[in-house]
Chains A and B, each alone.
Chain A
Amino acid sequence: MKSIHYMKDTKAFWQERNKAREVLDQKRQTTSYTEKTQIAEKLRSDANLLKRARILSSKP
């Protein structure tokens, strides 16, 4: 099968995305204690929801 040069072709794309992610991470780190607590609670709630999720179908 022909090799698809994924890494090379999308380098610029990932640079832009990673930069945006870093900005978001920094923003979250400097947010208030109250907001951090709200985010932590949301993550706990989402994690519990995902624990109850189940796979219905999967490609072989």
Chain B
Amino acid sequence: MALKEVIICLNRLKTEGIIQDYAIGGGYAVMFYDIPMTTYDLDVLVVLPTEDDYHALYEYFRNKGAKIENVYIFIEEMPVQFFPNYISPLFDSAIEESNVVDLEGVSCKFVRVEHLVLLLLTSFRPKDKIRIESLLNKVNKGLLERLIKRFDDEKHTLYERYQSLLAGT
């Protein structure tokens, strides 16, 4: 049930060609960069070029007898959500520019803190706002603002959200 075993499984998926690459985001990435927090699931951004590849990933686990509930695949009893890169260029960018991390001898990837804040700005639930406020003193603000500009919509939603949090800090 430990995180390390789940990461070993993710690395195996990459070796076996089920996924091309991955990077951890979500609550576990917040824990890595900042503070312990309550999170139940592991968010994993994956390079899967097509929807067929995404279905093949579920099929792989189904064939291994893994528990699958809704969008969650249970790996070592941990609910894991996979976010395929074909959904968004932001996921592509987050995986491409992720940090390689050593976790007690096991190599893995975490999205960089600026991408993590950007992903939290897109979901922007009350708990995401708290997480962003904690992470803001750890980001390269110039890089974050360039990323916001690159991935924002025509209404500048992400920028407005970012500014609202800066005004509150």
Pair B150/A53 contact, Cβ less than 8 Å: no
Partner of A53, one of B40, B101, B153: B101
Pair A3/B152 contact, Cβ less than 8 Å: yes
**B: number of interface residues (CB 8 Å):** 45
- B107 at the A/B interface (Cβ < 8 Å)? yes
Pair A6/B122 contact, Cβ less than 8 Å: yes
Shortest C-beta distance, A15 to chain B (Å), equals: 11
Chain B positions near chain A (C-beta within 8 angstroms) = 1-4, 28, 31-32, 36, 38-41, 69-72, 79, 81, 83, 87-90, 96-104, 107, 112, 122-123, 125, 149-154, 157-158
Q: Across the interface, name the chain B residue whose C-beta is closest to A40.
A: B38
- Cα A4 to Cα B154 in complex, Å, equals 9
Q: Known: A6-B88, A43-B38, A47-B36. Is A56-B157 also a contact (CB below 8 A)? A: no
